[in-house]
Amino acid sequence: MRSQVFFADHKIREAYRKLENSKNEKKKLYEWINRAIDDLAENCFCGIQISKKQIPRDYSKKYGARNLWKYNLPNAWRVLYTIKKEEAEIISIILEWMNHADYERKFKY
């Protein structure tokens, strides 16, 4: 199912833009996130849904996230996003991205 892709807030959007002009792995991360954005635009359900009971409270409070999905990037990075429906339109909202260690810490694995 196609969707429009947005960043949850301006801080996340700015962090993404800074990656574009960086070097080495950060530049690769920018390219991987770009690929994720393209894939989410084509199919918002292409990620892996995270159990509702595992959704961190800060995502629910800050972004009103009632569902949470992860999109796996190379080198064990993750993009975390939520899906919302506004009128007749599906929207994917990128909440953040993180490496595997931070992901495990956030989700208490």
**Tens of each residue's pLDDT in the chain, 109 residues:** 889 999 999 999 999 999 999 988 899 999 999 999 999 999 999 999 999 999 999 999 999 999 999 999 999 999 999 999 987 789 999 999 999 999 999 998 8
What is the spatial distance between Cα 70 and Cα 76, in angstroms, rounded to a whole number? Answer: 12
Q: Which CATH superfamily is domain 4-106 in?
A: RelE-like (3.30.2310.20)
Sheet strands side by side (includes 89-98): 4-7, 89-98, 78-86, 68-72, 48-50
If phi over 0 gives left and psi between -120 and 50 gives alpha, with beta otherwise, what is residue 72?
beta
Position 75 scores a pLDDT of 95
Position 64 scores a pLDDT of 93
Q: What is the domain partition of the chain in residue ranges?
A: 4-106
Position 1 scores a pLDDT of 86
Classify each residue of 70-95 as buried b or exposed e, where b means 16 or more C-beta atoms within 10 Å of its C-beta.
Answer: bbebeeebbbbbbbbeeeeeebbbbb
Position 108 scores a pLDDT of 84
